[in-house]
Amino acid sequence: MHKDGPLLILAGAGAGKTRTISYRILHLIKNGVAPENILAVTFTNKAANEMKERVSKLLKKDFISNISFEEEPFIKTFHSLGVYILRENFKELNISKYFSILDKNDSQKIIKEIIISLDLDPKQIEPKKILGVISKQKGNFITPFDYESEPRSGSDFLSKIISDVWIKYEERLNKEKSLDFDDLLLKTATLLKEKKDILERYQKKWKYIHIDEYQDTNKVQYKIAKLLSGKNKNICVVGDEDQLIYAWRGASIRNILNFEKDFSKSQTILLEENYRSTQNILAAANKVIKKNSLRKDKNLFTKNNAGEKIDLYSAYDEKDEANFIALTAQDLIENQKIPAQEIAVLYRTNFQSRNLEEAFLNVGVPYQVLGTKFFDRKEIKDIISYIKTSLNSENLIDFKRVVNTPARGIGKVTLAKIFADKEDELSSTIQLKIKNFRSLLIKIKEIALIKEPSILIKFIIQESGLGDKLKSGTEEDLERLSNMKELVSLALKYDKMPIGEGIEKLLEDVALMTDQDKMEKKTNAVKLMTVHASKGLEFDFVFIAGLEDELFPSKMYDKSDSNQEEEERRLFYVALTRARKKLFLTYTSMRTIFGSRRTNTISEFITDIDDNLIEDVSDNHYTNSSEGSEKIEYLEW
């Protein structure tokens, strides 16, 4: 019901954050605010699409359905908002309207090339780590020139290398008219800060601003929100500091804790009723998170029943643990008739999935590992690269990827001469091949600007030779061809957009896709994923595996750093609150990690939970572990 001025909504897990923002948008429109004056920003495409659907249904229900596409509330992720602003103002930034968005793999390739060009060894100076530092600095609203001018000790060799690599990296991006993932935010914030007329245009456009998952904002996202809301002061943020699990990626808990200081005359509302979980699950979650000091006190409650106790299973080793989880999931599916997609297995780190996958295969229970990425498949990336390099001829990464895909007899030596502007030194045969390839790119661009995306993709498959090459190949080749055809089907939804905009949106969605966006909704399979990937999701039955000291909580965090300790606890809190009906916690006495077998201590997180909420089921289950006899001996001892 709140309308004007800053508003902070502190919403606990399962308290209905998306519903709250959706109803607030409806209320604003019913009270005279034009829909096109409303902006809502969230973090994943999944969350943005869910909010769009809810708002659309609410407006139709209230007979406010005569809104055109241009008049709808503007609901985007932070990164897609950045793309929108940058494309509208591409001339100001001296970039192409069709600038390429590099994924992390592309960025790492460029950084590796730069490291080698500086006569450094990429095995010692890892491109991934260099990119990680650059990414975090950009998230902190720092440019390469800010970083270069920072005072350092003369012995800070690595920082000097990062600075040199970063400057060359930016030069390469500028030359290729490309932006990386972090530029979408950094350049947007810089543009709004430096160009007052552009800022005022968007302040006039979006008079009511909503930010979902505000606890996950970093410094540059905070800057964008502050700038856009600076004139009207109508900013509503929704979040839960107990679910901040991305500090390692630059998210600052201070943004939500200091909201009342940053935005004067703000109001704060607590949403403490949980509509998701049983009382026992919430009691465990409340007890765990109360140990954190960097939080505003709130206590989740529910009108749901108490529910079952939390099952605790002490496994001999990781095989025993995985077998217990797979057999229990099998029992839930076959005997209790629980749909497989209502079961999730969460773990702290990716390496834990291997034994789990093996156990699910052995038992015959369908499973899906979150993060199986359709758009990361080679054949799909090839088609996308054809489109990107046709629209942006300066984009060397994508040009290099497809100039010899399928094979055209254009090798590394030829490429080196092309990039060195020495094409005239090539043989007439090779020059003709290059000319034909460039002619193909021109045709692709022409079709991209006048035809629907699905027609464009069909043209690329046929005219590039990719389709012909795969048609007569192996079974694996035929599967790749099927994936290409699936891309045509996926593109149909973009065909409904105005010509030109559809292909822009397709490329944007591919570039900004997250792990959650890639999860197939209709797959009736048990979901396996890291706790980080589970944020925002919910399931009836949840297993949390590997609850051992130095695994969860991770040994990677500095135990003398209370902030890192609290983040690990928040991560466990997120894991607990994914469950609606039942939780299973497992840990092992022995685990092999990176080839070394070690004895484990039970995680402190388990001992944080009151005993009356937990039932130890270790003696009630028998698994197929090859170490079964060893386990019995261990338990007796």
Instruction: State both tokens at 450.
Output: 């006048």
DSSP state of 594: T
Q: Identify which of 44, 83, 41 has the alpha carbon closest to the alpha carbon of residue 183.
A: 83
**Statement: residue 636 has pLDDT above 50:** no
DSSP state of 431: H
Q: Identify which of 290, 484, 271, 292 has the alpha carbon closest to the alpha carbon of residue 374.
A: 484
Instruction: Output the CA–CA distances (angstroms, integers) from residue 356 to 111, 352, 361, 583, 588, in the order listed.
Output: 35, 7, 9, 17, 13
From the candidates 212, 311, 320, 567, which is the catalytic residue? 212
d(CA 514, CA 499): 26
Q: What order do you get walking across the sheet with 208-211 strand by strand?
A: 74-77, 38-42, 208-211, 235-239, 7-11, 267-271
| 252 dihedral zone (left: phi>0; alpha: psi -120 to 50; beta) | beta
**Statement: residue 520 has pLDDT above 60:** no
DSSP state of 587: E
**Statement: residue 84 has pLDDT above 70:** yes
Query: Per residue in 101-122, pLDDT tens?
Result: 998 889 999 999 999 999 999 9
At residue 298, the 3 state secondary structure works out as coil
Is-catalytic flag, 425? no
**In the predicted model, what is the mean pLDDT of residues 513-534?**
75
| Strands in 201-342 per DSSP E | 208-211, 235-239, 267-271, 310-315
Is-catalytic flag, 213? yes
**In the predicted model, what is the mean pLDDT of residues 94-105?**
87
Q: Identify which of 113, 138, 24 has the alpha carbon closest to the alpha carbon of residue 75.
A: 24
Q: Return the residue matching tokens 């998170």.
A: 289
Query: Per residue in 196-213, pLDDT tens?
Result: 999 999 999 999 999 999
370 vs 632: which has the higher pLDDT? 370
Length of the chain counted residue by residue: 637
Is-catalytic flag, 337? no
Report how far Cα 93 is from the mean position of its chain's Cα atoms: 27
Instruction: Output the CA–CA distances (angstroms, integers) from residue 186 to 136, 182, 193, 244, in the order listed.
Output: 11, 6, 11, 21
Under the banding of pLDDT at 50, 70 and 90, the label for residue 66 is: low
**Statement: residue 153 has pLDDT above 60:** no
Under the banding of pLDDT at 50, 70 and 90, the label for residue 280 is: very high
Q: In this predicted structure, what is the pLDDT of residue 69? A: 59
**Statement: residue 468 has pLDDT above 90:** no
**Statement: residue 626 has pLDDT above 50:** no
**Close Cβ partners of 35 (under 8 Å, ≥ 6 residues apart):** 29, 59, 67, 71, 72, 73
Q: Return the residue matching tokens 């229900």.
A: 61
d(CA 587, CA 332): 20
Is-catalytic flag, 368? no
Q: In this predicted structure, what is the pLDDT of residue 634? A: 33
Query: Per residue in 539-592, pLDDT tens?
Result: 999 999 999 999 999 877 666 677 888 999 999 999 999 999 999 999 999 998
From the candidates 46, 295, 535, 578, which is the catalytic residue? 578
Average pLDDT, the chain: 89
Is-catalytic flag, 212? yes
Peptide bond into 453 cis (omega under 30): no
Query: Per residue in 251-267, pLDDT tens?
Result: 899 999 999 999 999 99
**Close Cβ partners of 163 (under 8 Å, ≥ 6 residues apart):** 144, 147, 148
| 108 dihedral zone (left: phi>0; alpha: psi -120 to 50; beta) | alpha
513 vs 174: which has the higher pLDDT? 174
Q: In this predicted structure, what is the pLDDT of residue 516? A: 52
d(CA 211, CA 441): 40
Query: Per residue in 306-360, pLDDT tens?
Result: 999 999 999 999 999 999 999 999 999 999 999 999 999 999 988 899 899 999 9
Q: Identify which of 182, 218, 195 has the alpha carbon closest to the alpha carbon of residue 107.
A: 182
Q: In this predicted structure, what is the pLDDT of residue 637? A: 29
Instruction: State both tokens at 586.
Output: 């497992």
**Statement: residue 269 has pLDDT above 50:** yes
d(CA 440, CA 181): 28
Under the banding of pLDDT at 50, 70 and 90, the label for residue 629 is: very low
Instruction: State both tokens at 312.
Output: 């605790």
DSSP state of 611: G
Contact indicator for 265, 5 with CB cutoff of 8 Å: yes
From the candidates 17, 46, 458, 591, which is the catalytic residue? 17
Instruction: State both tokens at 63.
Output: 């007979």
Is-catalytic flag, 17? yes
Instruction: State both tokens at 199.
Output: 């800022």
**Close Cβ partners of 591 (under 8 Å, ≥ 6 residues apart):** 317, 318, 546, 548, 551, 597, 598, 600
Angle at 445 between CA 440 and CA 447, to 5 degrees: 95
Under the banding of pLDDT at 50, 70 and 90, the label for residue 152 is: low
From the candidates 77, 203, 243, 405, which is the catalytic residue? 243
127-139 helix and 219-228 helix, angle to the nearest 10 degrees: 30
Helices (H) and strands (E) in the chain, counts: 27, 17
DSSP per-residue letters across 502-554: HHHHHHHHHHH--TGGGS-TT--SEEEEEHHHHTT--EEEEEE---BTBBTTB
Contact indicator for 438, 384 with CB cutoff of 8 Å: no
DSSP state of 472: T
Biggest distance spanned by C-alpha atoms of the chain: 81
From the candidates 213, 240, 317, 321, which is the catalytic residue? 213
**In the predicted model, what is the mean pLDDT of residues 354-383?**
86
Q: In this predicted structure, what is the pLDDT of residue 608? A: 95
Under the banding of pLDDT at 50, 70 and 90, the label for residue 88 is: very high
DSSP per-residue letters across 363-380: HT--EEETT--GGGSHHH
Peptide bond into 553 cis (omega under 30): yes
Query: Per residue in 3-60, pLDDT tens?
Result: 999 999 999 999 999 899 999 999 999 999 999 999 999 988 888 989 999 998 998 8
Least confident of 141-145, 370-374, 504-508: 370-374
At residue 616, the 3 state secondary structure works out as strand
Q: In this predicted structure, what is the pLDDT of residue 108? A: 93
Query: Per residue in 397-426, pLDDT tens?
Result: 999 999 999 988 888 889 888 888 888 888
Least confident of 20-24, 169-173, 451-455, 557-561: 557-561
Contact indicator for 285, 588 with CB cutoff of 8 Å: no
**Statement: residue 535 has pLDDT above 50:** yes
